[in-house]
Amino acid sequence: MLNTNLRFSFENFVVGSSNQFAHAASLAVANQPGNSYNPLFIYGGVGLGKTHLLHAIAAQISQRTPGLIVEYLSAETFINDLIHAIQYEKMRDFQKKYRSIDVLLVDDVQFMATQERTQEEFFHTFNALYDSQKQIVVTSDKVPQDIPELEERLRSRFEWGLIADIQLPDMETRAAILNKKAKVEDMDLPSDVCHFLARHIQSNVRMLEGSLTRLKAFAEMSEEPISVDMCNNVLKDILSPKRSFISIEEVIRIVAKHHGLKAGELKSPKRAKPISRARQVAMYLCRELTSESFPEIGSRFGGRDHATVIHGVNKITALLEVDSDLQREIQQLRKSLMA
Ligand code: ADP
Ligand code: MG
């Protein structure tokens, strides 16, 4: 297992349109703490990279300017520290500690809402640091105005600086994250498996990572290479349920239409190039989007055998590596089918 700080670095953070802004703001803060955006408020749903960015900021600042006191903590830690200080009458130490920090990174600040005393202490800490131009970065699952029971004065402080959001990553970013993670973990991740996972696991990045971890473990135990079949098997419970609603017939219909052909032509024995190419594309998408087996897919394409389907899928998989027109076509077809 890699060291957390190393793993949660800027280097290991994949940038896509969903997180570009938060990433750029984090980098700016890491490069010039206290002098760019202050406070920086990062918000976004669960498992989208907020904690990762906070650690990346902390690591980069500590590395570049070892003298600075950089403190990463969750809102819960702040609350517990405060409770402890109150209980043992150590408020002075508490205040001294927090007010001597140069870079304060507070994760999941929404947990401070409803905690009156915490908010008050945090408000004072915030002011003390802000007034001495110390950097503050906080994350939350919502924008300040949507955090219920957050005191108005804190809310307005959070809105003083820059508010950056992280959205769900798109398909390409999900694939890039998987590839990066596989590389870091020294895993062999075939590109059809990568696309399959990126397509079906859309909820958040943590789920994507979890799926890789499970595949890796399963591949090691079974001594089999990672494959789409293995995904269907091992990840049954997390693969998006939408998939089971896409039928082979639907794939054939949509692909045929896209190519200006009739569904019957894809099932026929005809081997003219445009028809056989469309047929292979349809087989590829059946494999990716339905949970049907090779023999089942073959039988629906006019009784072809499983080897023909495997050949078709492999052919398209190989072409996808080099043919950007085909990539776009598949992308478009996926969209129509998943719509
Ligand atoms: P959050 O704090 O928003 O709930 P995390 O920062 O804990 O999410 O991210 C969940 C997991 O996903 C972490 O292992 C993190 O490294 C990974 N992750 C999230 N976004 C990215 C990204 N853009 N590139 C690489 N890994 C990411
Ligand atoms: Mg987090």
List the CATH number of the domain containing 221: 1.10.8.60
Answer whether residue 239 is part of any domain: no
Q: Which residues surround ligand 2, an ion (CB under 5 A)?
A: 50-51
Percentage, residues of the chain above pLDDT 90: 81
Ligand 1 centroid to residue 204 C-alpha, Å: 8
Among 144, 166, 188, identify where a domain stops: 166
Question: Computed over its alpha carbons, how large is the radius of gyration of the chain?
Answer: 25
Q: Ligand nearest 168 Cα, by number?
A: 1
Specify whether 227 is located in the same domain as 284.
no
User: Residue 273 sits in a domain of what CATH number?
Assistant: 1.10.1750.10
Please name the amino acid found at residue 316. I
Please tell me the total count of domains within the chain: 3
Of 180, 201, 234, the last residue of a domain is 234
Q: Is there a contact between 278 and 261 (Cβ–Cβ < 8 Å)?
A: yes
Cα of 331 vs centre of ligand 1, distance in Å, is 25
Ligand minimally distant from the alpha carbon of residue 179 = 1
Is residue 117 one of the residues assigned to a domain? yes
**For position 244, what pLDDT does the model report?**
57
**Residue 227 shares a structural domain with residue 292:** no
* 155 and 184 both lie in a single domain: no
- Ligand 1 atom closest to the Cα of residue 16 is 23
158 and 182 share a domain? no
Residues 275-305 pLDDT 10s:
999 999 999 999 888 878 889 999 999 999 9
Query: How far from chain centre, in Å, is Cα 305?
Result: 38
Asked if residue 135 and residue 193 are part of one domain, the reply reads no
How many CB atoms are located within 10 Å of the residue 282 CB?
29
Q: Which of 124, 131, 134 is nearest to 104 (CA)?
A: 134
Does residue 83 lie in a domain region?
Answer: yes
Give the residue, by CA position, lying nearest to ligand 1 atom 19: 49
Q: Which of 139, 166, 193 is the last residue of a domain?
A: 166
What is the reported pLDDT for 242? Answer: 54
What pLDDT, on a 0 to 100 scale, did the predictor assign at position 337? 85
Q: Are residues 182 and 155 in the same domain?
A: no
Residue 13 lies in a domain: no
Q: Same domain for 27 and 136?
A: yes
Residue ranges for the chain with pLDDT beneath 50: 1-4
Q: Identify whether residues 197 and 216 lie together within a single domain.
A: yes
Looking up tokens 């001495």 gives: 132
Same domain, 56 and 115: yes
H or E segment at 6? Answer: helix 4-7
Q: What separation in Å is there between the alpha carbon of 140 and the centre of ligand 2?
A: 8
**Domain coverage including residue 226:** 171-234
Please indicate, yes or no, whether residues 33 and 162 belong to a single structural domain of this protein. yes
- How far, in Å, is the centroid of ligand 1 from the Cα of 182? 14
pLDDT number for residue 112: 93
Asked, for residue 1, whether it belongs to a domain, the answer is no
